Amino acid sequence: MKHLIVILFLAFVNSVFSQTYSDHYYKRKALFEAEPNTKNEIIFLGNSITEGGDWKALIPDKNVINRGISGDVTDGILFRLDEVTESKPKKVFLLIGTNDLARGKSIAYVLEHTAKIISQIKSQSEGTKIYLQSILPINPNVGKKFSGHKNNHQKIIETNKELKKMAKKLDVKFINLHKKMRNAKKHIQPNYTYDGLHLSDEGYKKWSKIIRKYVN
């Protein structure tokens, strides 16, 4: 009996410590997989910045689907991408990378894994139109949290330059949210954020306005 208890305990410990992503990630992933596929989906794919958007309210006349998960990274997107492509979505709006940079990943790493995401979408759903959105600017003067993200101001700018080049090479549309949502210091405008990283209601309104012509 003791031997069985030890085996069960070790199995539990192994499952906990081998978990690659957060509990929130796996709960969201399971929720997505349980939802039925629909026609002409327009999927918003990304991390907490995407998850925080009420996309059905922001774009009420389209079949918009929120596939954002707080804390997600490029690897996390790749791990759950089969669910995204399964419905053969009409369009995918991808925004990812800021968490990778905050966790010490290089610009080259972000570019390589973003390219993998795009290539996999293309191979699994040929008719899907892909929109690669720039990483959003941060603002170190708003809020006291997320210093790891806010320290990457220049890295974000450099990454976006390379993402733009990559988008052209891979023949996908690049949407420069950074340029349209920043101030003179190239920080996100204070009214668009409540903590210097995540978006306020005004920030989401601005974002939806920028991409509206591509959604349509």
CA distance 134 to 180: 10
What's the confidence (pLDDT) of residue 191?
Answer: 98
Tabulate helix, strand, coil % of the chain (nearest 5). Answer: 55, 10, 35
CA distance 69 to 43: 13
Would you say residue 13 has pLDDT above 60?
A: no
10 or 202, greater pLDDT: 202
pTM over 0.85: yes
What is the rounded average pLDDT of the residues 139-168? 97
Would you say residue 12 has pLDDT above 80?
A: no
Q: List the structure tokens of 158.
A: 């450099």
What's the confidence (pLDDT) of residue 14?
Answer: 45
pLDDT classification of 17: cutoffs 50, 70, 90: very low
Q: Please check whether the domain covering 40-215 is classified as CATH 3.60.15.10.
A: no
Cβ pair 213, 198 in contact under 8 A: no
* Residue spans per domain, the chain: 40-215
